[in-house]
């Protein structure tokens, strides 16, 4: 049976359907562009630059990602809110660093119908300046704290860099959590708890290995005291910043008058944190990291469908095969999200390629001989294994795939980036490693503001960025900074970024 199906596969494969014309590790950019079209994920022909249209196969996964994050936030006591998209310019001006950091990136609404507004309204690039004004009104006493909220909304950044669907766009789909505490300790605990959510979902569910950094002083979120972020090194050889968590601390509390009467009846400014997992970008990292030359590979809990059934419609046996395939679909749908491809105008080979391109974890092929033999052919996308499986064993076999699928992808992913972090002591070595698509670990003078001059050298001479010091694991510096020759105070990681 196995050999028979293989033969059929190669015979039918003349009409192969969608295939990517380049190899991912030879021309990443073209690979990504073709993936967008051929897996039907995004369309960049919408007539505003940086605003792609997201298609059903991608949106289904983005919705799953969003719900996973919402569930984790709710389990930790965050409550959903909905704040307006528009933010008055005057709100924006209340926190000096924030306005400086975000103003160049803001889209402005100036008119309603024919009327010009007296004040311009920003499309939120992030919601601190919308929310904290209201928090000041809601929070009176320590009994109102902690207050932990989230909203899943669209945000807007007028990006000047080159845009690319999911990875860097002018409209983003994210969840933002904004949280208020009575003490600094509680706020820091929350910021760390948010990193745990990132770890659980980004690696645990999405199989994306990443490193948590604390960003250097010159690269913090505008208005924050400390910024922590997960960086993932993509096959492009560049890192992408994924969910970031910020100690907003008291800067915004002072700007927006978020204070409360504490247990000793003293008026105190509150401590604020925020956390912003961007789901369209998480999805971008996911498909970029796991995709291969055949298309998408999707972790089990992110795939829109777990199983595709392809009935092999031999002449005269169509009805019988379709009936069995539909029966199988109904049975499997109790435990899995199942789709059946009954198209008559394309070959099985075309369908195989189509669903491999879309990254469905499991394909089940069923033809007249399989039915006769009481078996099916099962293909799994993670390790490209294709086996004949007796129907009586199918439940157990699929359960086995479900249990190992994402775990396999994790192992593969860790393998891919294992060799990609290099140690270097000199500017020359750093440059060489970076150009070869690595991330580099090096001693560095300082991640306080006095180190910014060296970071500028890194940017100018190497075209890369100082991403920060590893968070949660202290790494002791020794020797000199490769750029200014001063005593190194810290160990930093350098990489190109998307």
Binding site for its own copies (CB under 8 A): 43, 45-48, 51-56, 59-60, 62-63, 79-86, 88, 90-91, 103-115, 120-121, 123, 130, 133-134, 137-138, 143, 149, 151, 153-154, 156, 158, 171, 173, 345
Closest approach, Cβ 84 to its own copies, in A, equals 4
Instruction: Give SS3 for 42.
Output: strand
Smaller CB separation from its own copies, 112 or 316: 112
Closest approach, Cβ 79 to its own copies, in A, equals 4
Closest approach, Cβ 175 to its own copies, in A, equals 12
Contacts of 377 (CB under 8 A, 6+ apart): 1, 2, 5, 364, 365, 366, 370, 386, 387, 388, 389
Smaller CB separation from its own copies, 120 or 486: 120
Closest approach, Cβ 210 to its own copies, in A, equals 25
Residues pairing with 410 in the sheet: none
Smaller CB separation from its own copies, 94 or 496: 94
Distance of alpha carbon 381 from alpha carbon 307, whole angstroms:
10
Closest approach, Cβ 394 to its own copies, in A, equals 26
**Residue among 131, 129, 120, 123 at smallest CA distance from 158:** 123
Distance of alpha carbon 36 from alpha carbon 189, whole angstroms:
39
Closest approach, Cβ 110 to its own copies, in A, equals 5
Closest approach, Cβ 165 to its own copies, in A, equals 11
Instruction: Give SS3 for 285.
Output: helix
Residues 307, 362: contact at Cβ < 8 Å?
yes
Smaller CB separation from its own copies, 160 or 374: 160
Virtual torsion, Cα 135, 141, 142, 146, nearest 10 deg: -20
Distance of alpha carbon 346 from alpha carbon 352, whole angstroms:
10
Length of the chain: 498
Smaller CB separation from its own copies, 88 or 204: 88
Angle between helices 56-75 and 279-290 (to 10 degrees): 120
Instruction: Give SS3 for 329.
Output: helix
Residues pairing with 380 in the sheet: 362, 385
Q: What DSSP element (H or E) covers 9?
A: helix 2-12
Residues pairing with 27 in the sheet: none
Query: Cα angle at 420 between 414 and 423, to 5 degrees?
Result: 130
Instruction: Give SS3 for 485.
Output: coil
For residue 146, cis peptide bond before it (omega within 30 degrees of 0): yes
Smaller CB separation from its own copies, 10 or 138: 138
Closest approach, Cβ 178 to its own copies, in A, equals 12
Q: Are strands 385-390 and 375-380 parallel, antiparallel or unpaired?
A: antiparallel
Distance of alpha carbon 58 from alpha carbon 117, whole angstroms:
37
Closest approach, Cβ 112 to its own copies, in A, equals 4
Smaller CB separation from its own copies, 111 or 396: 111
Smaller CB separation from its own copies, 34 or 133: 133
**Residue among 390, 345, 341, 346 at smallest CA distance from 363:** 341
Closest approach, Cβ 362 to its own copies, in A, equals 21
Smaller CB separation from its own copies, 18 or 413: 18
Smaller CB separation from its own copies, 165 or 468: 165
Q: How many CA atoms lie within 13 A of 252 on its CB side?
A: 31
Smaller CB separation from its own copies, 50 or 235: 50
Closest approach, Cβ 305 to its own copies, in A, equals 12
């Amino acid at each position: 049976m196995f050999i028979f199906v293989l033969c059929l596969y190669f015979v039918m494969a003349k009409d192969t359907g969608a295939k990517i014309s380049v190899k991912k590790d030879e021309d990443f950019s073209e690979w990504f562009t073709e993936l967008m079209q051929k897996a039907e994920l995004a369309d960049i022909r919408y007539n505003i630059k940086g605003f792609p249209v997201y298609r059903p196969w991608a949106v289904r996964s983005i919705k799953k990602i969003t719900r996973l994050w919402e569930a984790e936030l709710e389990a930790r006591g965050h409550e959903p809110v909905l704040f307006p998209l528009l933010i008055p310019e005057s709100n924006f001006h209340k926190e000096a660093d924030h306005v400086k950091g975000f103003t160049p990136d803001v889209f402005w609404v100036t008119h309603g119908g024919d009327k010009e507004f007296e004040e311009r309204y920003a499309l939120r690039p992030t919601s601190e300046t919308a929310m904290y004004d209201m928090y000041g009104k809601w929070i009176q006493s320590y009994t109102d704290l902690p207050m932990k909220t989230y909203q899943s909304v669209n945000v807007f950044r007028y990006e000047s860099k080159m845009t690319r669907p999911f990875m860097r766009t002018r409209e983003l789909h994210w969840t933002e959590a904004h949280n208020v505490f009575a003490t600094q300790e509680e706020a820091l605990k929350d910021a760390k708890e948010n990193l745990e959510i990132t770890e659980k979902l980004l690696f645990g569910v999405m199989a994306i290995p990443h490193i948590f950094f604390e960003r250097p002083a010159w690269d913090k979120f505008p208005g924050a005291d400390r910024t922590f972020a997960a960086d993932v090194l993509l096959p492009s050889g560049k890192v992408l910043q994924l969910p970031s968590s910020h100690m907003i601390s008291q800067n915004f509390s002072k700007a927006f008058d978020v204070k409360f009467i504490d247990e000793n009846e003293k008026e105190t400014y509150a401590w604020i944190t925020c956390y912003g997992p961007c789901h369209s970008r998480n999805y971008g990292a996911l498909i970029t990291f796991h995709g291969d030359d055949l298309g998408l590979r999707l972790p089990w809990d992110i795939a829109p469908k777990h199983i595709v059934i392809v009935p092999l419609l031999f002449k005269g046996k169509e009805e019988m095969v379709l009936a069995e395939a539909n029966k199988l679909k109904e049975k499997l749908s109790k435990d899995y999200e199942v789709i059946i491809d009954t198209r008559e105008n394309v070959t099985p080979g075309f369908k195989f390629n189509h669903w491999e391109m879309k990254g469905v974890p499991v394909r089940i092929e069923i033809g007249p001989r399989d039915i006769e033999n009481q078996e099916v052919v099962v293909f799994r996308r993670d390790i490209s294994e294709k086996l004949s499986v007796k129907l009586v064993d199918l439940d157990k076999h699929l359960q086995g795939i479900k249990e190992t699928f994402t775990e396999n992808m994790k192992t593969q992913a860790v393998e891919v980036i294992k060799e990609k972090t290099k140690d270097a002591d000199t500017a020359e070595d750093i440059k060489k490693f970076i150009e070869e698509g690595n991330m580099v670990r090096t001693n560095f003078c300082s991640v306080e503001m006095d180190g910014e001059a060296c970071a500028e050298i890194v940017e100018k001479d190497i075209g890369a960025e100082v991403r920060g010091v590893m968070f949660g694991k202290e790494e002791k510096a020794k020797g000199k900074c490769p750029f200014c020759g001063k005593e190194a105070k810290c160990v930093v990681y350098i990489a190109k970024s998307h």
